[in-house]
């Protein structure tokens, strides 16, 4: 088949840099352009050393982007920035938005392939999930219909999750020998998880002094008692046909998730004093399965390609 022409806006950020590599390595995609507000005219290889051509970043104004012919556009920009582009993008171009702008919009497919594959296939507008939300929902979905009470999730992420704009949450000096809880109540991903699962969830995030990767620990109470073997079996059955989700007995670690295009769920535990109370953890790379490799999964599904194309 002819290569899909991909446009990338926000290519200079952490997730954008990863997206460059995934498109470059994909057997059925070619990069038509990479746009950056801050680096227009600069070499792609300066931002992404593994880039193998002499391409440069183009200007990122909505008008410039609208004039370029592509099959799909990936918006890797901060929250609130997508609207100006969507107003001028021609019909027929598939859009994957990595921001939170459309995750609650029923007109957009919610791009978590393991849970919404049918909605994503052939979709023209796809909202990529948040990184924490992806891990939490993968950990909660297999037991969502068994929950007796509101579950809680605790997330720890590397500082790349805070983006490239300087802030206390991506300052290595502040994070050295330290962790930093933030948005302890009302975090956007808490609402996202609850909205998608159809029930309330408590979620608290923390940033730690490593660059990438995250782990979410879920604590829940089930209506019926269980044991570790039975709990693990539920997850293995649910994700049996999802090759980017690994179910393991061991607790998954952010260090091991770094560089992995998928997610790992494990660390299954049951409270011996109350076998209704369980724990499970999910780890992934916040820049890959939490952003760019998930976007490639979504593009593959939208265009009817092998879901793992470019990701094996």
Which tokens go with 92? Answer: 């027929």
Classify residue 164 by its DSSP letter. Answer: S
Upper half-sphere CA count for residue 30 (Cβ side, 13 Å): 10
Q: Which residues are catalytic?
A: 131
In the chain, where does DSSP find H-type helix? 14-25, 44-47, 62-66, 83-86, 113-120, 131-140, 172-175, 188-197, 228-238, 254-257, 292-302
d(CA 145, CA 196): 13
Which tokens go with 201? Answer: 């969830």
Which tokens go with 191? Answer: 């609402």
d(CA 206, CA 132): 11
d(CA 19, CA 107): 25
> Which are the contacts of 3, defined by CB distance < 8 A and separation ≥ 6?
28, 29, 30
């Amino acid at each position: 088949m002819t290569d899909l022409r991909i446009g990338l806006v926000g290519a200079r950020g952490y997730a954008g840099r990863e997206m460059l590599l995934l498109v470059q390595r994909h057997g059925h995609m070619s990069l038509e352009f990479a746009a950056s507000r801050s680096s227009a005219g600069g070499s792609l290889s300066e931002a992404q050393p593994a880039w193998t051509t002499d391409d440069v970043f183009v200007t990122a104004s909505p008008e410039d982007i609208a004039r370029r012919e592509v099959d799909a556009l990936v918006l890797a920009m901060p929250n609130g920035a997508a609207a100006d582009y969507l107003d001028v993008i021609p019909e027929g171009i598939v859009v994957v938005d990595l921001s939170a702008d459309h995750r609650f919009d029923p007109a957009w497919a919610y791009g978590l392939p393991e849970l919404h594959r049918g909605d994503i296939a052939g979709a023209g507008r796809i909202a990529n999930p948040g990184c924490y939300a992806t891990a939490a929902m993968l950990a909660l979905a297999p037991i969502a219909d068994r929950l007796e009470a509101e579950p809680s999730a605790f997330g720890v992420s590397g500082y790349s999750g805070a983006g490239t704009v300087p802030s206390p949450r991506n300052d290595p000096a502040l994070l050295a020998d330290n962790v930093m809880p933030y948005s302890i109540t009302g975090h956007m991903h808490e609402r996202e998880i609850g909205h998608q699962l159809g029930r309330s969830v408590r979620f608290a995030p923390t940033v730690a002094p490593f660059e990438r990767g995250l782990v979410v620990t879920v604590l829940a109470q089930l209506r019926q008692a269980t044991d570790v073997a039975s709990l693990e079996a539920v997850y293995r059955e649910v994700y049996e046909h999802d090759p980017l989700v690994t179910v393991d007995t061991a607790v998954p670690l952010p260090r091991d998730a770094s560089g992995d295009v998928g997610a790992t769920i494990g660390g299954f535990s049951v409270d011996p004093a109350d076998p209704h109370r369980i724990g499970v953890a999910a780890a992934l790379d916040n820049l890959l399965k939490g952003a760019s490799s998930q976007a490639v999964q979504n593009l593959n599904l939208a265009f009817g390609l092998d879901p793992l194309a470019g990701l094996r």
